[in-house]
Structure 1
Amino acid sequence: MRIGRLGLGALALSLATAAWPAWSQTKIDFFFPVPVEGKLAREMTRLVKLYNESQKEVEVVASYTGSYDDTKLKAQAAAKAGKPPSVVLMSANFNVDLKLSGDIISLEPMLKADETTREDFLKDFWPALHANATVDGELYGVPFHNSTPLLYYNVEHFKEAGLDPAKPPRTWAEMVDAAKKLTKGDRSGFMMPAGYDYLGWLMEALSMSNGGRYFNEDYGGEVYYDQPSMLGAARFVEDLIFKHKVMPQGVTEAGGVSTAFFAGKASMVLLSTGSLSFIRESMKTPYDVAFVPKNVRNAVPIGGASLVMFAGQSEDSKKAGWKFIKWLSSTDTLGGWSRFTGYFAPRKSAYDKPEMKEFIAKNPDAKVALDQLPYAKPWFATYQTVAVRKALEDEIQALMNGKKKADQAVKDAQKKADELMRPYAETTSLKLP
């Protein structure tokens, strides 16, 4: 009888243990940045809460981690400490560097488990986003929010200066001409952010719109800072400040640029699509948006962030993280995030939804970034991405402060970048005996 009772007790315990996984939760960490103005952190926290309440298998613990650069450093530090975040909303151009360092994992096994392919998974995402989502032919990031630079301009200032607000400047020459007419007293005709990350992105836009390539899209150890296209872009910025005097001297962060725009102290500004919602809410006078002016061709870099998964986590954590990624990157979630933030939705299907059609009908400024997409190219991505980007940004900032001329700035930027990328270049170069 005693043996029978023990047997029944063991059986009951066994059944209880077997039933436990059906209602237990896998807890995962999610790191996310907020790189532009607005109430994005609070909205992301709301989304995570909504997800947690929608199911019982996964509990997501969200942590706001600052800028794109800060998020990369914090995620790597957590991984090094043995506590890798499961999912990180990471700057889309960090994937090459993070893959080379072994920090993030390929998402191909998750696609295979879902019985799908990379091509099928990505077909609903805008083609311009595919390059930054893949590394060496494998999926490493799922696009979540994306942007391009836009030219924002004050409609009343245009009318006052005798300019047609329905015909914003399309070329560098037209922009200089308009900026001269718009500059008045303490009002600048043009401004652009010059802080870290933003400045590199905008210089990529200017270099590409000047007909060049900013970096080798197929190789992580090559940039083109000292080429004529970048030299022309640097001279253009230099002339806006010191020759045409339509842009203030010195380094102005993104917040200062948007504040100047709101206050009527800047008539035209280059800012991210991701600032659109903030500007729409904050601008008290009429404004409009347009393509980034070109010199040789229309061209803009993709910006924004992708969802990646860090190495070193358990299989349960991977499965939970992938489930969360698929929810965050669903058509409905991306559409809602786009309408809230100003970023364009990475999925084409988001724009087939009635609520998105209604939103764009009411806010036609949200369509300009989509119209620019046929001219969009990959975002700068190399070995040691941040340091290599800063090599250029430091030199352009020196130029904007009047400490260097454009010709010397791009030469020094190239030299610094080459030194930073040398370890990677040496591992990939053919060493003959």
Structure 2
Amino acid sequence: MLGVPMLLLAACGNNDQNEDTSANASEPANSNEQAASNSGSDDRVEIEFWHGMGGGLGETLEELVASYNDSQDSYVITPEYQGSYEELLTQFRTVGGTETAPALVQMFEVGTKYMIDSGFITPVQEWIDKDGYDVTQLEENILSYYTVNDQLYSMPFNSSTPALFFNEEKFVEAGLDPENPPRTFSEIKEAAELLTTDDTYGFSMLGHGWFFEQMIATQGVDYVDQENGRAADATEATFGGEEGLRVYEWLDEMNQAGTFNYFGRDWDDLRAAFQNGDVAMYMDSSAGTKDSVNNASFDVGVSFIPHADEIDPNGVVIGGASVWMGSGISEEEQAAAFDFMKWFNLPEVQAEWHVNTGYFATHPAAYDEDIVATEHEETPQLRVPIDQLQATVPGTATQGALITVFPESREQVVTSLEALYQGTSPEDALSQAIEGTNRAIEVSNRANQ
């Protein structure tokens, strides 16, 4: 054991861009004194690690770093909480490339394109090549998001994907088989009809663009052109075809039938609706699995995300955040940063990270560790998102899109879906999302010329 306390904090809404990034996130205690007490001699190289994990996740991260500092006598990592991911990005923009910039910085996945183009980072591939580190030992479908032109730019840190969560008790009452949950759009729609009562809606989806992106990707379609923005800067959105329309029409049909209810954009509101029995099926982050299971007064089922009837599902796009190495710092500081990255990805460390937080293990061998086996035996639902991730078909669609205006595009998608729920036609609502995304891309590209 590495000494990371078994806090068992199911990461159900703190600071994952694909989860609630700010609500309930309280700032962890400053760890400068702890780092100093662990530093031993004055000749240890000390570097800062900026992160956006508040609350219980922040405490877990602090314990993790303390374990690393105690594991060797060459380096000291000082974690510093910078607020939500958006606040963290703003802070990094002001100091990137300067002497005050951190050696390590956590960044949500939709900030990847900005970080690559910023000039403020050193691709971790440089140190992988220099060190001879075998990166192929890590989970391929996690690494792929942060890999561009065969170069790994950052090291995965906290990774999650969506999954379908359902109330097994209500399934039985409705005559549905919890062991054979619905997978396709038509199956979800039919199940929602059976599950809807005077007190319960059959299905809901959070007001967050992440879930729409996943249902586009699993159809094997890129979100934007230029190979999902990976071959060159994207110039337009590509989710406006029949694949995007399938999603909008599916949601519209359930909304019109009264089997769907929109609970808004707040993760906690939708989670509370599920716990209270107000909705029988919804999609959530895999990192919230354990919390959902533990908080429910009923048995919670977990399954793969829904997919259109016409296609064989391609899988999911990884979400969460990765850790980047700053440029403009000394080689010994970069060496410290890379040493921590390697340590963090050890199977035994990843086993405790997975158990303590609910995030995926970046090293598949972590799932063979005893503490994970025990955890999965107690909560077998945790295996479902792992199986979904590992079954994902590699390709640009499931690799994920790279655009600097991803937050703006997500806002356009959510706004258009809210218009759909208010009566706008699926075609017009989807066009609204496409046009808004294209405007944002055009403005960004023009500014960067």
Category of TM-score, reference length = shorter chain: 0.7 to 0.9
Instruction: Tell me by how many angstroms 1:250 deviates.
Output: 5.7
Q: Is the 8 A contact 1:210 1:232 kept in 2?
A: no
Note if 1:347 corresponds to 2:363. Answer: yes
Distance 1:23 1:29, change over 3 A: closer
- Name whichever of 54-63 and 145-154 sits farther off: 54-63
Q: Is the 8 A contact 1:188 1:246 kept in 2?
A: yes
**What does residue range 208-287 of structure 1 map to in structure 2 within 5 Å?**
208-210=217-219, 212-215=221-224, 216-217=227-228, 218-219=230-231, 220-221=233-234, 222-241=236-255, 243-249=256-262, 251-287=264-300
| 1:407 maps to amino acid | E
Please, which of 405, 409, 424 is the counterpart of residue 384 of structure 1?
405
Q: Give the secondary structure class of the aligned counterpart of 1:96.
A: helix
**What does residue range 133-172 of structure 1 map to in structure 2 within 5 Å?**
133-172=146-185
Q: Is the 8 A contact 1:92 1:141 kept in 2?
A: no
**What does residue range 373-412 of structure 1 map to in structure 2 within 5 Å?**
373=389, 374-375=391-392, 377-400=398-421, 402=422, 404-412=424-432
Note if 1:185 corresponds to 2:198. Answer: yes
User: What's the counterpart of residue 373 of structure 2?
Assistant: 357
| 1:59 maps to amino acid | V
Instruction: Tell me by how many angstroms 1:164 deviates.
Output: 1.3
Give me the whole-angstrom Cα distance separating, in 2, the residues matched to 1:29 and 1:345: 24
| 2:45 maps to amino acid | T
User: What's the counterpart of residue 102 of structure 2?
Assistant: 85
Give me the whole-angstrom Cα distance separating, in 1, the residues matched to 2:68 and 2:405: 34
Instruction: Tell me by how many angstroms 1:169 deviates.
Output: 0.6
Give me the whole-angstrom Cα distance separating, in 2, the residues matched to 1:398 and 1:52: 51
Give me the whole-angstrom Cα distance separating, in 1, the residues matched to 2:243 and 2:156: 29
| 1:411 maps to amino acid | S
How big is each residue's C-alpha offset from its partner over 1:363-389, in whole Å with a ceiling of 9 and x where there is no partner?
221111122122262233223332333
| 2:159 maps to amino acid | N
What runs of 5+ residues in structure 1 fail to find an aligned partner?
Answer: 1-20
User: What's the counterpart of residue 416 of structure 1?
Assistant: 436
User: What's the counterpart of residue 72 of structure 1?
Assistant: 89
User: What's the counterpart of residue 200 of structure 1?
Assistant: 209
Please, which of 272, 291, 311 is the counterpart of residue 304 of structure 2?
291
Distance 1:87 1:428, change over 3 A: closer
What runs of 5+ residues in structure 2 fail to find an aligned partner?
Answer: 1-39
Distance 1:223 1:102, change over 3 A: farther
Give me the whole-angstrom Cα distance separating, in 2, the residues matched to 1:425 and 1:382: 10
Instruction: Tell me by how many angstroms 1:47 deviates.
Output: 1.1
Q: Is the 8 A contact 1:225 1:413 kept in 2?
A: no
Percent pairwise identity: 26
| 1:223 maps to amino acid | A
Instruction: Tell me by how many angstroms 1:213 deviates.
Output: 2.7
Give me the whole-angstrom Cα distance separating, in 2, the residues matched to 1:423 and 1:165: 48
Instruction: Tell me by how many angstroms 1:50 deviates.
Output: 2.0
Give me the whole-angstrom Cα distance separating, in 1, the residues matched to 2:137 and 2:249: 40
Give me the whole-angstrom Cα distance separating, in 1, the residues matched to 2:262 and 2:289: 25
Note if 1:114 corresponds to 2:131. Answer: yes
TM-score of the superposed pair, with normalisation by structure 2? 0.81
**What does residue range 8-19 of structure 1 map to in structure 2 within 5 Å?**
none
Instruction: Tell me by how many angstroms 1:283 deviates.
Output: 1.8
Give me the whole-angstrom Cα distance separating, in 2, the residues matched to 1:193 and 1:386: 16
**What does residue range 329-344 of structure 1 map to in structure 2 within 5 Å?**
329-344=345-360
Q: Is the 8 A contact 2:196 2:202 kept in 1?
A: yes
Instruction: Tell me by how many angstroms 1:353 deviates.
Output: 2.1
Please, which of 296, 306, 322 is the counterpart of residue 306 of structure 1?
322
| 1:420 maps to amino acid | A
Instruction: Tell me by how many angstroms 1:75 deviates.
Output: 2.5
Instruction: Tell me by how many angstroms 1:226 deviates.
Output: 1.8
TM-score of the superposed pair, with normalisation by structure 1? 0.84
- Computed over aligned residues only, the root mean square deviation of the Cα atoms, in angstroms, reads 2.6
| 2:402 maps to amino acid | A
Q: Is the 8 A contact 1:34 1:66 kept in 2?
A: yes
How big is each residue's C-alpha offset from its partner over 1:147-169, in whole Å with a ceiling of 9 and x where there is no partner?
22111111111111111111111
